Chains A and B, each alone.
Chain A
Amino acid sequence: MAARETGEAPAGDIGLYRDMLLIRRFEEKAGQLYGMGLIAGFCHLYIGQEAVVTGMESAARDGDQRITSYRGHGHALAAGMAPAAIMAELLGRESGASGGKGGSMHLFDPARGFWGGHGIVGAQVPIGAGLALAQKQRGTNDVTFVYFGDAAADQGQVAETYRVAQALALPVLFVIENNSYPAGGGLSGAGPGLLDRAKAYGLPVQGVDGMDVRAVRGVAEDAVLHVRAGKGPYVVEARTYRYRGHSMADPAKYRTRDEAARMRESRDPIDSLRASLLAEGAAEEDALRAIDREVKEIVSAAADAARAAEAPGDDALHRHVYAEV
């Protein structure tokens, strides 16, 4: 497994704080650059949901695999992918992780076990089960983390995948990131019984407060233990909250500004952990401030490098339609 390119994370809970903060600052910068017209198309920010991927990934080890949807910047960072390569991809630059051909929704880093980055709602779910099948066939006991949202859980292929994963006892950990609002909010929140559906297929399930990174870590450790032991798939529903619209194009009029502000004030995963760390004496204010500065620098450097990078050359148009052998 390739090393993290997101910098050294301190041990323990301070590491969780740093990883979440890096995602937060990265996404805020992406939002800014989108506003400046430097990022185009669809851009789905992860702000508010940082505790989910950070907590889950804290239970992963080298060799584990992960796949997610179009809301994947946070997962890419959690996998240790270079922030500069991600930001350059968001700007459609040659130095981007996908050479500028994928964009915000299509980030990949197979060397770090990160398989995207998929734009079709729910389609990454069977693909993730396939990654797990490959691990099983090779006799590893690695776990594949498959992340998807509450809306994706409504897709038929998710149910199909539960069925096959259960039948083949695949080493896959499904993580439903229930952020409470499907795109546009036309339906009143997430569909019913997200975990009951999986349970009906015979999968073990566990819900968790997705705004509490330590709680997520605890549930992740249990789930990973189950899957790594060869006992088959497992489903976690993390109840979380995204602060921004579904994408930059979504004004999120289906909820009040007050609601989002209240959430941010009382439940923010990063602020909550920061307060706990200070209250418990587990971290000094100065140390946390140093992390804030370090993270800001990483993000600024990534943005500066992306802005300075070249657009892909015309010769890139026809490359990579097929594998070059």
Chain B
Amino acid sequence: MATEIRMPALSPAMEEGRLARWFVAEGDAVEPGDVIAEIETDKATLEFEAVAAGRLGRILVPEGSEAVKVDTPIALLHADAAVAGTADPNAAPRPAPRRGRGTALAEPGWPAHVHRGPLIVREALRAALFEEMQRDESVFVMGEEIGSAEGPYRVTQGLLDAFGSGRVIDVPVTEAAFSGIGIGAAFAGQRPVVEFMNMSFALQAMDQIVNSAAFTHYMSGGRIACPIVFRGPNGAAGRVGAQHAMCLAAWAAHVPGLKVVYPFAASDAKGLLKAAIRDPDPVIFLENERLYGRAFEVPALDDHLVPLGRARTWREGGDVTLAGYGPAMAAVLEAADTLAAEGIAAEVIDLRSLRPLDVEAVAASVRKTHRCVTVEEGWPQGGIGAYLAAEVTRAAFDWLDAPIGSVTGADVPMPYAETLEELALPRAADVVAAARHACYR
């Protein structure tokens, strides 16, 4: 009996694509997971795999066909793999999987067959802004040097050309004013994305962010919403001293009415920024200068959205839960490798969203591992890790076999000297030591 193999959609928005290549010929035996074809759109390429075993019957759409509508039958599959004939010796050999740049960190959770390529965080952010501005004309960006200067970190590069000065707005160095102006525009139903050149400077605007953006919905009994995103590089950048290395994560996450995200990976940078722009509430979107140029291995991310409030598991393990966020994830992942070599299987969780905070994801992990260490670059007192530890203790007390450990930035203003700065930030070795301690090793 034959079933139809249909043209797949690479994204919810995809309507048609090019069937670039068949990797199998009529009569070939296929197993689930075998790459059978390559599909292209103007945005992405997908290696299409068989989902069932069988023998390929008739090919209905030859390779090289353009504008093949999604869900069109493209071939028949016969469920008689047992009598699979001999493969056609002239069939094209299956290509080896393509790989991205060696430096790119492979992100977990994508289906194995999906083609991946490197994406750096800066480009992910830029793509998110571009896509949202294209999708919704009420979205605009505002900040210092973001237009003709293309952004202090080039995140907004090209946006002025694409959208004009009415939606890519350069403002003078007036943090309180341009934050308040963004808030007023958001009240009126626009969707501003306000960039701080550095999140340390957002302290100049903290009154507007808290008293105006966060509270007005509540104070007005729900009559006014404030759909605004405040974004910019946050935390330590590398030898910039205390006044340019402020981590706003815990400060902002303290405030009811604000939402706070701090992505590590490129796909999360893109998906969370797009979700933040569409969110009806004010979102503090934290980036980090050290991550802007970092590459991650991800599939093409057409209209990729990551919901706020959900943590992400980077690797599974049964011995200890490591829960971190932001640039500290680099130390966490490195530590997990070291621990694995010692026979300690760490489960690695990237919180991504700090308010709402996915306490349950960590608690569920702790019910399995019975041990936990929180990791962050921010300060210890009143930190995200401290709150998370309290909540996880409440939620999973009976499962804990050790006190929850914490690794934080040093409790000092960020020093300038290279040696001191290194000491002030959590290193993989600190995470390893804390994990060993939690495991009584």
For B192, the chain A residues whose CB sits under 8 A away are 130
A264 close to B (CB within 8 Å): no
**Contact string, B255-281, partner A, CB cutoff 8 A, digits 1/0?**
011010000000000000000000011
**In the bound complex, CA of A109 to CA of B220 (Å):** 9
**In the bound complex, CA of A106 to CA of B216 (Å):** 9
B178 close to A (CB within 8 Å): yes
Check B223 against A98 for contact (C-beta < 8 Å).
yes
A55 close to B (CB within 8 Å): no
Partner-contacting stretch, out of B83-91, B95-103, B180-188, B297-305 = B180-188
Closest to B138 in A: A137
**Contact string, A34-67, partner B, CB cutoff 8 A, digits 1/0?**
0000000000000000000000000000000101
Q: Which of B188-211 contact A (CB under 8 A)?
A: 188-190, 192, 207-208, 211
Nearest CB in chain B: distance from A86 CB, A: 13
The listed residue (A126, A164, A322) touching B217 by CB distance below 8 A is A322
The listed residue (A100, A126, A323) touching B177 by CB distance below 8 A is A126
The listed residue (A97, A123, A321) touching B257 by CB distance below 8 A is A321
Check A127 against B212 for contact (C-beta < 8 Å).
yes
The listed residue (B178, B184, B212, B219) touching A98 by CB distance below 8 A is B219
Nearest CB in chain B: distance from A131 CB, A: 4
Check B216 against A130 for contact (C-beta < 8 Å).
no
For B219, the chain A residues whose CB sits under 8 A away are 98, 101-102, 106, 108, 116-117
Check B218 against A101 for contact (C-beta < 8 Å).
yes
Check A321 against B190 for contact (C-beta < 8 Å).
no
Nearest CB in chain B: distance from A307 CB, A: 19
Check B184 against A134 for contact (C-beta < 8 Å).
yes
Q: Which of A10-32 contact B (CB under 8 A)?
A: none
Partner-contacting stretch, out of B128-136, B148-156, B166-174 = B166-174
A186 close to B (CB within 8 Å): no
Closest to B188 in A: A134
Interface centre among A97, A110, A127 (most CB of B within 10 A): A127
**In the bound complex, CA of A102 to CA of B216 (Å):** 9
A171 close to B (CB within 8 Å): no
Check B221 against A127 for contact (C-beta < 8 Å).
no
For B9, the chain A residues whose CB sits under 8 A away are none
The listed residue (B140, B167, B171) touching A164 by CB distance below 8 A is B171
Check B223 against A108 for contact (C-beta < 8 Å).
yes
For A250, the chain B residues whose CB sits under 8 A away are none
The listed residue (B171, B190, B281) touching A322 by CB distance below 8 A is B281
Check A130 against B176 for contact (C-beta < 8 Å).
no
**In the bound complex, CA of A205 to CA of B253 (Å):** 42
Check A156 against B172 for contact (C-beta < 8 Å).
no
A324 close to B (CB within 8 Å): yes
Q: Which of A204-242 contact B (CB under 8 A)?
A: none
Check A110 against B166 for contact (C-beta < 8 Å).
no
Nearest CB in chain A: distance from B206 CB, A: 11
Q: A127-B180, A127-B212, A321-B257 are in contact. Are A110 and B187 (CB under 8 A)?
A: yes
Check B140 against A137 for contact (C-beta < 8 Å).
yes
Q: Which of A99-119 contact B (CB under 8 A)?
A: 99-102, 106, 108-110, 115-119
Closest to A170 in B: B181
Check B257 against A322 for contact (C-beta < 8 Å).
yes
For B218, the chain A residues whose CB sits under 8 A away are 101, 320-321
A-B contact pairs, 22 of them (CB 8 A): A65-B188, A98-B221, A108-B216, A108-B224, A115-B187, A118-B211, A123-B211, A125-B180, A127-B184, A129-B181, A130-B182, A130-B186, A132-B184, A134-B184, A157-B177, A157-B208, A163-B172, A164-B178, A320-B221, A321-B218, A321-B257, A322-B281
Chain B interface residues (CB < 8 Å from chain A) = 138, 140, 166-167, 169, 171-172, 174, 176-190, 192, 207-208, 211-212, 216-225, 227, 256-257, 259, 280-281
Known: A116-B224, A134-B185, A323-B227. 7 other contacts (CB 8 A): A100-B221, A108-B223, A126-B179, A137-B190, A161-B174, A321-B256, A323-B225
What 5 A-B pairs are tightest by C-beta distance, nearest first? A130-B184, A126-B180, A99-B221, A160-B177, A134-B188
